[in-house]
Amino acid sequence: MSESVSPSPKGRGFIFSIRSPRDFWGGLVLIAVGILAIWASRDLPGQRGFAFGPGTAPRLFSGLLVGFSAVVALGGLIMDGPRIEKYKVRGPVLVIFAILGFAAMIRPLGMVPASFVTFMVAILGSKEMRVLESFVAAAVMTAFCVLLFVYLLNLPFQLWPRF
Partner 1 sequence: MSELLANLALGFGVAAQPYNMLFCLLGALVGTLVGVLPGIGTVATIAMLLPITFGLPPVGALIMLAGIYYGAQYGGSTTSILVNIPGEATSVVTALDGHQMARQGRAGAALSIAAIGSFFAGCVATVLVAALGAPLTGLALLFGPAEYFSLMVLGLIFAVVLAKGSVLKAVAVILLGLLLSMVGSDLETGAGRMTFDIAELADGIGFANIAMGVFGFAEIIRNLELPEESRDVLHAKVSGLMPTRKDLIDSSGAIVRGTILGSLLGILPGGGAVIASFAAYTFEKKMSKTPQRFGNGAIEGVAAPESANNAAAQTSFIPLLTLGIPPNAVMALMVGAMTIHGIVPGPQVMTKQPELFWGMIASMWLGNLMLVVINLPLVGVWVTLLRVPYRLLFPSIIVFCCIGIYSINNSPFDVVISAVFGVIGYWLVKHDFEPAPMLLGFVLGPLMEENLRRAMLIARGDWMVFFTRPISAGLLGVAILLLIVSTLPKIRRRRDEVFVE
Task: Give the footprint of partner 1 on residues 99-128 (CB under 8 A).
Answer: 99-100, 102-104, 106-107, 111, 114-115, 118-120, 122-123, 125-126, 128
- Which of 55, 109, 110, 113 binds partner 1 (CB under 8 A)? It is 55
Backbone angles phi, psi at 51, to 5 degrees: -90, 135
Phi-psi group of 116: left, alpha or beta (phi > 0 → left; psi -120 to 50 → alpha; rest → beta): alpha
Residue 9 beta carbon to partner 1: minimum distance, rounded to whole angstroms = 20
Tell me how many residues contact partner 1 (CB under 8 A). Answer: 79
- Which of 16, 32, 92, 160 binds partner 1 (CB under 8 A)? It is 92
- Which of 7, 8, 41, 159 binds partner 1 (CB under 8 A)? It is 41
- Which of 35, 137, 139, 159 binds partner 1 (CB under 8 A)? It is 137
Q: How many angstroms separate the CA atoms of 101 and 118, rounded?
A: 7
Name the residue nearer to partner 1 (CB basis): 12 or 89.
89
* Buried/exposed 36-73: b ≥16 CB within 10 Å, e otherwise: ebbeebeeeeeeeeeeeeebbebbeebeebbeebeebb
